[in-house]
Amino acid sequence: MSETFIEILRRALDEELTRDPAVHLLGEDVAAGGAFGVTRGLAQKHGAQRVRNTPISEAAIAGLATGAALCGLRPVLEIMFIDFTTLSLDTLVNQAAKYRYMSGGQLAVPMVVRTQAGAAGGAAAQHSQSLEAWFVHVPGLVVVAPSSPAEAYGLLKSAIRLGDPVLFIEHKRLYTMKETIAEDAELPAIGRARIARTGEHVTLIAYSAMVAYAHQAAERLAAEGISVEIIDLRTLTPLDMTTIAASVTRTHRAIIAHEAVRNGGFGAEIAARIGEELFDELDAQVLRVACPFVPIPFAPELERALLPGADNIVRAIRTQLQQGGAPT
């Protein structure tokens, strides 16, 4: 049975609430289902104490989840939009991320912060951002960005069981995407990327909603005899350089695609790592596909004009293939 991203998140949360009494959900409107309906029905099933509404207090509720995680709960906090994590940053950056290290290993923060990012449908500049680069910069945080419903199911469960604070970034454009999950699939390991499509000529590194565009681009180029390997990072921190290195060592080309703005984006870090660690393997410059350095506009035609998609990826791959001779 195929389910939407939202339905699959709900199923994963429901199963984790059932499996482990320490798991508690909290956030604005979550008892009523949350702004996107992810938690619908869970308060009725698991009780209002375990699926708990909070005031609109992003600073306090991030701290509430962190303090509870120190004391035996496994909170799953929903911050409605990643744009609002700006209000939670003290707790996430200064406290949750550092507790394990700063306490010399005495304490840990087994907490998941589910949040939702990306541009779609005229959400405009304060509800559309892709801010993952801020969080990958903080040692102690784990950052996960699933690319599809089935991926989200396994990754959310793994994140809840991990034992360290995880920022779990859901892309709003994926919420209506449908997929069937294999019932007996093993849960994915946090910190491991996956090869989403095998190919020979170029390694295309993507995550979250860009993985779908990567597939579209790869299909189009396949018709021209260009074979694209797609790596779906799944976890941004810790970055799985092993998988990236193995692929780039075969293809000798790398392109990184993300929806976040190019300046200081996570693509810069990946490109630098490839440059530092795999320079001799490269037949061409590492390229990035990303959003220009502009806030997300409101009008649909402006939003469409700004966001990177399959066309941008195809162009980048063609540009790269013109460098350094024909792909081998």
Partner 1 sequence: MWYFECFPTPTINTVTPDIATQEASTRAQAAPSRDDLLRMLGTLWQIRTFEDEVQRLAAAGEVPGFPHLSTGQEAVAVGVCSQLARDDVLFTSHRGHGHVLAKGSDIESTFAEVLGRETGLCRGRGGSMHLVDAANGVLGATGVVAGNLSLAAGAAWAAQALGNSNISVVFFGDGATGAGAFHETLNLAALWKLPVLFVCENNGYAEFTSREEHSTVKFVRRFAEPYEMAAITVDGNDLLAVYAAAGKAIAGLRHGEGPYLLECMTFRVAGHFVGDAQRYRSKEELAAMREKDPIERLQQHLLQSGVTQDALDVAGEQARRTVLDAVQRARASAHPDPSGVLDGVYAAERLNTTNG
Contact between 5 and partner 1 by CB under 8 A: the answer reads: no
Query: Do residues 91 and 66 touch, judged by C-beta distance below 8 A?
Result: yes
Residues in binding contact with partner 1, number by CB under 8 A: 50
Q: Beginning with the edge strand found earlier in the chain, give each strand of the sheet holding 202-206 in spatial order.
A: 194-197, 228-232, 202-206, 254-261, 287-291
**46 annotated active-site:** no
Give the x-and-dash track for 232-251 against partner 1 (CB under 8 A): -----xxxxx----------
Angle formed at CA 256 by CA 242 and CA 194, multiple of 5 degrees: 40
CB of 273 to partner 1, least distance (A): 10
Site for partner 1 in 136-175 (CB under 8 A): 139-140, 142, 162-164
Site for partner 1 in 71-130 (CB under 8 A): 71-73, 75, 90-91, 94-95, 98-108
Contact between 191 and partner 1 by CB under 8 A: the answer reads: yes
Which is nearer to partner 1, 2 or 94 (by Cβ)? Answer: 94
Contact between 66 and partner 1 by CB under 8 A: the answer reads: yes
Q: How far is CA 245 from CA 147, 240, 249, 275, 327, in A?
A: 21, 9, 6, 11, 17
Please give the sequence-ordered ranges of beta strands (E in DSSP) within 69-200, or none if there are none: 74-79, 112-117, 142-144, 166-171, 178-180, 194-197
**Residue 241: partners with Cβ closer than 8 Å, 6 or more residues away:** 273, 277
Distance CA 40, CA 13 (A): 11
Which position among 16, 28, 58, 170 bears the catalytic label?
58
Contact between 54 and partner 1 by CB under 8 A: the answer reads: yes
**170 annotated active-site:** no
Which is nearer to partner 1, 68 or 307 (by Cβ)? Answer: 68
Which position among 127, 171, 201, 252 bears the catalytic label?
127
Q: How many helices (H) and strands (E) does the chain have?
A: 12, 14
Query: Do residues 53 and 105 touch, judged by C-beta distance below 8 A?
Result: no
Binding site for partner 1 (CB under 8 A): 24, 49-50, 54-55, 57, 59-73, 75, 90-91, 94-95, 98-108, 139-140, 142, 162-164, 190-191, 237-241
| Positions marked catalytic | 58, 127
